[in-house]
Amino acid sequence: MNTASASWESRLQKVVLIIGRIALGYLFFTQLWWKAPPRFGCPEGFAFTTGTLDNGRVRLQRTSGLCDWIGVESVWAQQPHPVLVSNLDNTGQPEIAVDIGFLAQLNGAFIDGFVKPNIQWFGYAVWGMEAFIFVSLFLGLLSRLGGLVAIAQSAQLMIGLAGIGNPYEFEWTYHSMLVLSVLMFAFAPGRYLGLDAWLRPRLAAASQKGNTLAGVLKWLT
């Protein structure tokens, strides 16, 4: 491969990483406002969505905001939870699927035992995580850390919501978020047209002088 071709491919890869970084950051930005503090879009008394099973179908009594979606995850935690579903003969019955029911049940236990009783402060943690992901990825600041936090948030959403039937959630929305988050973690795209490009060499210089914190932060840029 000649030098001109290698340079062109390198530029293309950087541009794609920048686009992916900004797009994922903006996705999380769009999700900040329907669950903004201090009530996180919840109704009076922070009432959560509940549900019943009617002839094999989940019927939800929905509320609003973060309390709505936390409740949805809690209800669906006790239902079958296949993902990566493929209907090879188009009959409506999955012929290929991976059951993550055990993970969904663990997620539901965490929601019921910890998140719900502490929603008035835990909502700030959820909102703060997504706000950090937006700032980190959109500005390219500590972008590897932003990718790591995005992995955690996307994985939780995938386990709780991917492929549920009511409300219908397209599972590949969450899978795609998780895959893109992994790419952001792996490639630390803030090094290209982001604040990490300015910050990283300064952290490297400080790390070489024995600053341990600077070494850790350098790895997160």
What is the per-residue pLDDT across 115-149, written as a single tens digit (0 to 9) for each? 999 999 999 999 999 999 999 999 999 999 999 99
Q: Using alpha carbons, select from 168, 202, 196 the residue that is nearest to residue 85.
A: 168
In a domain, 79, yes or no: yes
Compute the Cα dihedral for 32, 36, 40, 42 and give only its sign: negative
In a domain, 205, yes or no: no
Instruction: Round the average pLDDT of the chain to a whole number and report it.
Output: 93
State the Cα–Cα distance between residues 183 and 177, nearest whole angstrom.
Answer: 10
In a domain, 115, yes or no: yes
**pLDDT interval class at 53 (50, 70, 90):** confident
How high is the pLDDT of residue 2?
A: 67
In a domain, 219, yes or no: no
The pTM of this model reads 0.93
- How many CB atoms sit inside 10 A of residue 47's CB? 14
Domains: count for the chain = 1
**Comparing 7 with 112, which gets the higher pLDDT?**
112
Q: Which domain covers residue 101, as residue numbers? A: 3-189
- Residue 142, sorted as left (phi over 0), alpha (psi -120 to 50) or beta, turns out to be left
In a domain, 215, yes or no: no
- The percentage of residues in the chain with a pLDDT greater than 90, rounded to a whole number, is 83
- How many CB atoms sit inside 10 A of residue 30's CB? 10
How high is the pLDDT of residue 3?
A: 72
* SS3 category, 215: helix
In a domain, 28, yes or no: yes
**pLDDT interval class at 45 (50, 70, 90):** very high
Tokens of 184: 């952001």
